Structure 1
Amino acid sequence: MISRIQSIKDVRTLAVAIVETIPEPFVVLDDKLSVILASRSFYRTFKVDPDDTLNRPLYELGNRQWDIPVLRDLLERVVGETTPMENFEVEHDFPNVGPKTMLLSARSVPFDGKRNPTVLLAFVDVTDRRLAERQKDDLLAQTEELLRQKNVLLQELQHRVANSLQIIASILMLKARAVSSEETRHHLEDARLRVMSVAAVQQHLNSSAAVDKVEMGSYLSKLCESLAASMIGERQAIAVRVMADDAEVDSGAAVNIGLIVTELLINAIKHAFPTPRADAQVLVTYEVDAADWQLTVSDNGIGKPEAAMSPGLGTTIVKALVEQLDARLETSAGPKGTTVAIARTTFVSRYPFSATA
Structure 2
Amino acid sequence: MPMLQRFQAAHSPPDQPGDAVASSGVSGDSPESRLTARIQELESELRELQHRAKNSLQLVISLLKLQAGRIRDPDARAAYEQTMVRIEALAILYRQLHESGAGTHVDLGRYISALCEAVREGTPGALSRVPVSVDSDPIQIGLYEAMPLGLIIAELVTNSLHHAFPEDGWIRVSVRQQAEDNRARLTVEDNGRALPAGFDATAEDGLMLAEALAGQLGDTLSTDSDAAGTTASVSFPL
TM-score range, shorter chain: 0.7 to 0.9
Instruction: Give the 3 Å change call, closer, same or farther, for CA 309–298 of structure 1 in structure 2.
Output: farther
Alignment of 1:215-230 (within 5 A): 215-230=107-122
State the shift of 1:235 in Å: 6.6
Residue in 2 that maps onto 1:258: 150
Deviations 1:42-75 (A, max 9, x none): xxxxxxxxxxxxxxxxxxxxx899x989xxxxxx
Residue in 2 that maps onto 1:278: 167
DSSP 3-state at the match of 2:113: helix
DSSP 3-state at the match of 1:326: coil
State the shift of 1:271 in Å: 2.0
State the shift of 1:146 in Å: 1.8
Residue in 2 that maps onto 1:294: 185
Task: Name the amino acid aligned to 2:73.
Answer: S
Q: Does 1:201 align with 2:117?
A: no
Structure 2: any 5+ residue segments left out of the alignment? Answer: 1-6
1 CA distance for matches of 2:41 and 2:168? Answer: 51
Bigger helix share:
2
Provide the identity percentage: 29
1 CA distance for matches of 2:119 and 2:47? Answer: 25
State the shift of 1:153 in Å: 1.5
Residue in 1 that maps onto 2:39: 147
Instruction: Give the 3 Å change call, closer, same or farther, for CA 325–272 of structure 1 in structure 2.
Output: farther
Instruction: Give the 3 Å change call, closer, same or farther, for CA 344–165 of structure 1 in structure 2.
Output: closer
2 CA distance for matches of 1:252 and 1:202? Answer: 12
State the shift of 1:237 in Å: 2.6
Residue in 2 that maps onto 1:240: 132
1 CA distance for matches of 2:148 and 2:75? Answer: 26
Residue in 2 that maps onto 1:176: 68
2 CA distance for matches of 1:329 and 1:285? Answer: 15
Q: Pick 1 or 2: higher relative contact order, CA cutoff 8 A, min separation 6.
A: 2
- The answer to whether the 8 A contact 2:89-2:150 is kept is yes
Task: Name the amino acid aligned to 1:328.
Answer: T
Bigger strand share:
1
Residue in 2 that maps onto 1:339: 231
* TM-score, structure 1 normalization: 0.56
- The answer to whether the 8 A contact 1:294-1:342 is kept is yes
Structure 1: any 5+ residue segments left out of the alignment? Answer: 1-62, 70-88, 93-100, 102-130, 346-357
Of the three residues 51, 57, 60, the one matched with 1:159 is 51
- The answer to whether the 8 A contact 2:145-2:236 is kept is no
Instruction: Give the 3 Å change call, closer, same or farther, for CA 233–210 of structure 1 in structure 2.
Output: same
State the shift of 1:303 in Å: 1.8
State the shift of 1:176 in Å: 3.2
Instruction: Give the 3 Å change call, closer, same or farther, for CA 201–307 of structure 1 in structure 2.
Output: farther
Deviations 1:262-301 (A, max 9, x none): 001111001242xxx3311111111113511101110011
Instruction: Give the 3 Å change call, closer, same or farther, for CA 297–64 of structure 1 in structure 2.
Output: closer
1 CA distance for matches of 2:127 and 2:175? Answer: 29
State the shift of 1:310 in Å: 7.0
2 CA distance for matches of 1:308 and 1:239? Answer: 27
Of the three residues 130, 138, 158, the one matched with 2:30 is 138
Q: Does 1:303 align with 2:191?
A: no
Task: Name the amino acid aligned to 1:313.
Answer: D
2 CA distance for matches of 1:245 and 1:153? Answer: 31
* TM-score, structure 2 normalization: 0.81
Q: Does 1:330 align with 2:222?
A: yes
DSSP 3-state at the match of 2:162: helix
